[in-house]
């Protein structure tokens, strides 16, 4: 008995101490959570009350000529978190815009300037070295430096005031311990000051994201050297009269050594826009609509703002880190853009001296290339000393991902690109913001060179207009833009550009509207070459047929058109698929899939099975045609492949000999293999019961945060699960998706305004306005993006949380 009691007492003590330790750990955990919660909440930007910032001071640093405010500024954030900034001077206006943007998007701004400048490795580590090398090679920051030197005093004022506002917020946040939590997670203890050069470098990055086609030239070059000539030429966007041009006998440059490792913009980058004049609207005044298609992520690439000062009263969106409003409206005019996609990038093959890797041939003489020494800082590693070589034509881009001892010999590719010149897009933006009619607006566009954009315009006076704007090189022959050109021959130098007055322009057309959707914007009679690669025509054709057939349009009608999901690619090809597959012996579930296509109403709606079958079948056709013959990294450079596949299918159906189809036994065999593959993939994800299939279970929108790299951080920054969504890459409601079905590109901003009431406009900015995950405006527009629920932003009537910036 005594022994039992003695045994029990130690056990009780163990249990007692275990409970104490457990409670202590729980209390510690609660304390840590409370601290973390308080720390995160502390970094929420202050949007009410007053914040004192530095007053005006001249000559504060080498980068800025002043800092601070001359007068108090009011920032009113409305229900969607859109800042309405009221200032007594233009300087104070841009200072406050910089401050407000930094409040909402500081981490995004920091990562954007690092990406564009080639400085990600300093915080990300070794995984970003190749990316940094590539952007150092391109030299976006060097191009921004050249551009900065061309700006006049008024434009520099806007840049400097904006930078001063950003820096005022950095100082405020660092002194108050309220920097965004992402800085802590990335190991960034402090942030260097913002400069005008940072703003222009981000502008150059947007030109990069929208302005390229060199990768298609590289792909065509690969095709010419790896396939039979007829097979290669079938993959060209247009059939070249000159064959392999002037490069067929040159030493082959392996594009997989470096170029396939380059950062390549998403091939779906594009947009829709249109303007309808008063003859076709209920109000009797023009209506303008614009929805740029870019990457969909958290936070949005766009920052919505309303700016009000003596010389500005403008509302719309801008890239975080840049002053002004690039897309939107003022009290008289509205405008929107889509990407022209012209041939503004040209690869050159350079002949390098066999004994001196820094000498290159040009017009039978050797010259010394410029060598730029770059130091890339890498988190946790030694700095990397990196050389950029610039030839007469541009930077050498084909060696950035190679080891030092593997390059500096043999032929190389260099890149000529208009955006690497000095350009003044911000000058154009500020002039556009102040424009009151088409004459003033078109004058402003003279300074908008890169990226080349399709501008549509509407004004309160009833004018609608279109202009394909930008610095577009003049090619002696369109075929030259299909392949790399000889870099040693000055006759191939691109030194002239389409004259500004001869760029494609339409004002007040008889049909009553102008519209673009990255489609071919010039006819065969246009005297200059613009591009060989255009977007598939289906979005434009759908917009055109709706605007042509309709009358008495309202803003609501234009919103509905932006959300339209009718699939004109399917309207054309579904009858072909059904006709060919009638001769194919199909399994039961494959036949049911074909029946789904035949009964489908051709709308890419999330509740339907038709879109799932169609898009999986189209993707399987492309894989059937190319996957065995092309490495995945080469296929990624096949920009505009959808247009090529459409043409190959149509030509084969019409009875033409198509080598890429015949190598698989003909069109019937291709579709047989493709429907089998497509159905297997659908069954794998949604089961074999066709009644259970639907587009939305596969096609879902997810605005991923850049730090969503682990499960914990993913739930931290993305609390909203992927949502089923309508549309696709070929519908007006643009929603391009990856192999996993997640929509990652689309209408990053939707905008409609009726010029009968130019004070207001209707917007959607997905997923929300701010970058702080605890903010009410972080992801509040995701559901609106899916359903097409717009918010109205007015310049004459707004209220909300009011913050006063006061001069100390």
Structure confidence at residue 30 (pLDDT): 52
- Interatomic CA distance for residues 129 and 380, integer angstroms: 12
- Where does the pLDDT of residue 33 fall: very low under 50, low under 70, confident under 90, or very high at 90 and above? very low
Average pLDDT over residues 152-176: 95
Q: Could you give the C-alpha distances from 483 to 115, 131, 177, 418, 682, in angstroms and in order? A: 28, 24, 54, 17, 38
- Where does the pLDDT of residue 519 fall: very low under 50, low under 70, confident under 90, or very high at 90 and above? very high
Residue 725 has pLDDT above 60, yes or no: yes
For the chain, what percent of residues have pLDDT higher than 90?
80
Which tokens hold the place of 295?
């990457």
Residue-wise pLDDT tens digits, 666-684: 999 999 999 999 999 999 9
Structure confidence at residue 257 (pLDDT): 81
Strand 412-417 to 345-350 pairing = antiparallel
Residue 685 has pLDDT above 50, yes or no: yes
Checking phi first, is residue 284 left (phi over 0); if not, alpha (psi -120 to 50) or beta? left
Are the beta carbons of 50 and 803 closer than 8 angstroms?
yes
Structure confidence at residue 23 (pLDDT): 59
Q: Can you spell out the DSSP letters for 550-571?
A: --SB-HHHHHHHHT--B-HHHH
CB within 8 Å of 491: residues ≥ 6 apart = 476
Structure confidence at residue 265 (pLDDT): 85
Residue 750 has pLDDT above 50, yes or no: yes
Contacts 24+ apart (CB under 8 A), 524-528: 527/502, 528/472, 528/474, 528/498, 528/502
- Where does the pLDDT of residue 20 fall: very low under 50, low under 70, confident under 90, or very high at 90 and above? low
- Interatomic CA distance for residues 338 and 545, integer angstroms: 19
Average pLDDT over residues 449-466: 97
Strands, E assignment, 133-269: none
Structure confidence at residue 514 (pLDDT): 98
- Where does the pLDDT of residue 712 fall: very low under 50, low under 70, confident under 90, or very high at 90 and above? confident
Best CA proximity match to 479, nearest among 427, 546, 531, 441: 531
Residue 3 has pLDDT above 60, yes or no: no
Q: Helix, strand, or coil here: 651?
A: helix
Kindly report the average pLDDT of the chain as a whole number: 92
- Interatomic CA distance for residues 332 and 225, integer angstroms: 55
Higher model confidence: residue 113 or residue 11?
Answer: 113
Structure confidence at residue 21 (pLDDT): 60
Residue-wise pLDDT tens digits, 190-233: 899 999 999 999 999 999 988 778 999 999 999 999 999 999 99
Best CA proximity match to 272, nearest among 782, 734, 726: 734
**Which DSSP category does 78 fall into?**
-
Average pLDDT over residues 35-60: 74
Q: Can you spell out the DSSP letters for 351-414?
A: PBPSS-TTEEEETTEEEEPEEEEEEE--TTS--EEEEEEE-SS-BB-SSTTS-GGG-SSS-EEE
- Interatomic CA distance for residues 553 and 284, integer angstroms: 9
Residue-wise pLDDT tens digits, 92-102: 999 999 999 99
Of 62-66, 374-378, 649-653, 797-801, the least confident: 62-66
Structure confidence at residue 252 (pLDDT): 85
Are the beta carbons of 507 and 465 closer than 8 angstroms?
yes
Residue 32 has pLDDT above 50, yes or no: no
Average pLDDT over residues 288-307: 96
Buried b (16+ CB within 10 A) or exposed e, 184-200: eebebeebeebbbbbbb
Structure confidence at residue 54 (pLDDT): 76
Residue 609 has pLDDT above 90, yes or no: yes
Average pLDDT over residues 73-78: 98
For the chain, what percent of residues have pLDDT higher than 70?
91
Higher model confidence: residue 177 or residue 690?
Answer: 690
CB within 8 Å of 22: residues ≥ 6 apart = none
- Interatomic CA distance for residues 690 and 687, integer angstroms: 8
Average pLDDT over residues 744-767: 97
Residue 464's CB: how many other CB atoms inside 10 A? 26
Number of H helices, E strands in the chain: 24, 30
588 burial level (CB within 10 Å; 0-12, 13-18, 19+): exposed
Residue 805 has pLDDT above 70, yes or no: yes
Strand 83-86 to 302-309 pairing = parallel
Structure confidence at residue 35 (pLDDT): 47
Which tokens hold the place of 398?
């084909």
- Where does the pLDDT of residue 57 fall: very low under 50, low under 70, confident under 90, or very high at 90 and above? low
Structure confidence at residue 266 (pLDDT): 80
Structure confidence at residue 59 (pLDDT): 56
Structure confidence at residue 5 (pLDDT): 47
Residue 167 has pLDDT above 50, yes or no: yes
- Where does the pLDDT of residue 63 fall: very low under 50, low under 70, confident under 90, or very high at 90 and above? low
Residue-wise pLDDT tens digits, 139-158: 999 999 999 999 999 999 99
Residue appearing with tokens 């541009």:
394
């Amino acid at each position: 008995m005594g022994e039992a009691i003695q045994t029990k007492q130690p056990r009780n003590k163990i249990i007692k101490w275990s409970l104490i330790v457990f409670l202590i750990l729980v209390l510690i955990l609660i304390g840590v959570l409370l601290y973390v919660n308080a720390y995160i909440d502390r970094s929420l930007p202050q949007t009410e009350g007053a914040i004192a910032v530095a007053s005006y001071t001249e000559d504060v640093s080498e980068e800025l000529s002043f800092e601070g405010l001359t007068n108090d500024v009011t920032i009113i954030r409305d229900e969607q978190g859109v800042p309405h900034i009221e200032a007594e001077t233009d300087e104070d206006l841009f200072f406050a815009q910089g401050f407000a943007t930094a409040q909402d998007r500081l981490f995004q701004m920091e990562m954007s300037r690092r990406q564009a400048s080639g400085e990600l490795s300093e915080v990300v580590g070794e995984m970003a070295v190749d990316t940094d090398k590539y952007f150092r090679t391109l030299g976006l920051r060097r191009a921004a430096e050249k551009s900065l030197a061309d700006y006049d005093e008024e434009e520099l004022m806007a840049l400097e005031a904006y930078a001063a506002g950003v820096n005022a917020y950095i100082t405020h946040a660092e002194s108050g311990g309220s920097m965004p939590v992402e800085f802590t997670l990335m190991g960034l203890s402090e942030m260097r000051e913002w400069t005008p050069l940072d703003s222009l470098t981000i502008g150059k990055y947007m030109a990069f994201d929208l302005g390229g086609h060199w990768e298609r030239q590289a792909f065509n070059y690969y095709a010419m050297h790896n396939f039979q000539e007829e097979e290669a030429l079938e993959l060209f966007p247009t059939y070249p009269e000159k064959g392999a041009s002037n490069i067929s006998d040159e030493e082959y440059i392996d594009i997989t050594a470096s170029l396939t490792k380059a950062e390549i913009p998403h091939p779906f980058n594009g947009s829709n826009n249109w303007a309808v004049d008063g003859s076709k609207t209920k109000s009797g005044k023009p209506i303008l609509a614009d929805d740029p298609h870019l990457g969909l992520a958290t936070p949005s690439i766009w920052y919505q703002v309303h700016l009000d000062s003596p010389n500005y009263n403008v509302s719309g969106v801008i890239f975080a880190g840049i002053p002004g409003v690039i897309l939107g409206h003022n009290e008289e005019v509205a405008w929107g853009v889509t990407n022209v996609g012209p041939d503004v990038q040209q690869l050159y093959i350079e002949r390098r001296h066999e004994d001196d890797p820094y000498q290159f041939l040009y017009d039978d003489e050797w010259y010394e290339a410029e060598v730029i020494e770059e130091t890339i800082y890498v988190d946790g590693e030694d700095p990397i000393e990196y050389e950029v070589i610039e030839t007469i034509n541009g930077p050498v881009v084909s060696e950035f991902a190679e080891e030092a001892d593997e390059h500096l010999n043999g032929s190389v590719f260099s890149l000529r690109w208009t955006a690497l010149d000095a350009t003044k897009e911000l000058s154009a933006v500020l002039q556009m913001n102040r424009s009151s009619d088409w004459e003033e607006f078109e004058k402003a566009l003279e300074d908008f060179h890169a990226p080349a954009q399709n501008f549509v315009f509407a004004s309160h006076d009833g004018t609608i207009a279109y202009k394909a704007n930008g610095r577009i090189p003049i090619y002696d022959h369109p075929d030259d833009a299909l392949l790399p050109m000889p870099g040693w021959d000055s006759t191939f130098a691109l030194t002239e550009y389409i004259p500004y007055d001869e760029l494609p322009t339409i004002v007040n057309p008889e049909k009553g509207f102008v519209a673009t959707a990255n489609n071919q914007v010039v006819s065969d009679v246009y005297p200059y070459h613009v591009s060989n690669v255009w977007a598939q025509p289906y979005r434009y054709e759908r917009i055109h047929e709706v605007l042509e057939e309709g009358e008495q349009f309202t803003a609501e009608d234009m919103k509905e058109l932006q959300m339209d999901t009718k699939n004109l690619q399917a309207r054309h090809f579904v009858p072909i698929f059904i006709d060919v597959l009638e001769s194919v012996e199909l399994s039961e579930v494959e036949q049911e899939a074909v029946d789904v296509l035949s009964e489908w109403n051709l709308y890419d709606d999330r509740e339907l099975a038709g879109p799932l079958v169609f898009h999986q079948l189209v993707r399987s056709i492309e894989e059937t045609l190319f996957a065995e013959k092309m490495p995945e990294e080469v296929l990624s450079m096949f920009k505009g492949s959808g247009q090529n596949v459409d043409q190959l299918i149509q030509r084969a159906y019409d009875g033409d000999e198509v080598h890429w189809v015949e190598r698989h036994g003909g069109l019937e065999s291709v579709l047989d293999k493709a429907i089998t593959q497509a159905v297997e993939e659908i069954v794998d994800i949604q089961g074999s019961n066709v009644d259970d299939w639907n587009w939305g279970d596969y096609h879902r929108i997810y605005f991923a945060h850049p730090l969503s790299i682990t499960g914990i951080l993913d739930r931290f920054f993305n609390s909203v699960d992927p949502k089923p969504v309508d549309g696709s890459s070929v519908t007006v409601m643009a929603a391009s998706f990856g192999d996993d079905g997640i929509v990652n590109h689309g209408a990053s901003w939707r905008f409609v305004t009726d010029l009968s009431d130019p004070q207001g406009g209707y917007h959607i900015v997905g997923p929300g306005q701010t970058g702080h995950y605890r903010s009410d405006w972080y992801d509040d527009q995701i559901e609106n993006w899916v359903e097409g629920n717009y918010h109205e932003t007015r310049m004459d009537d707004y209220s909300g949380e009011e913050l006063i910036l006061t001069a100390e």
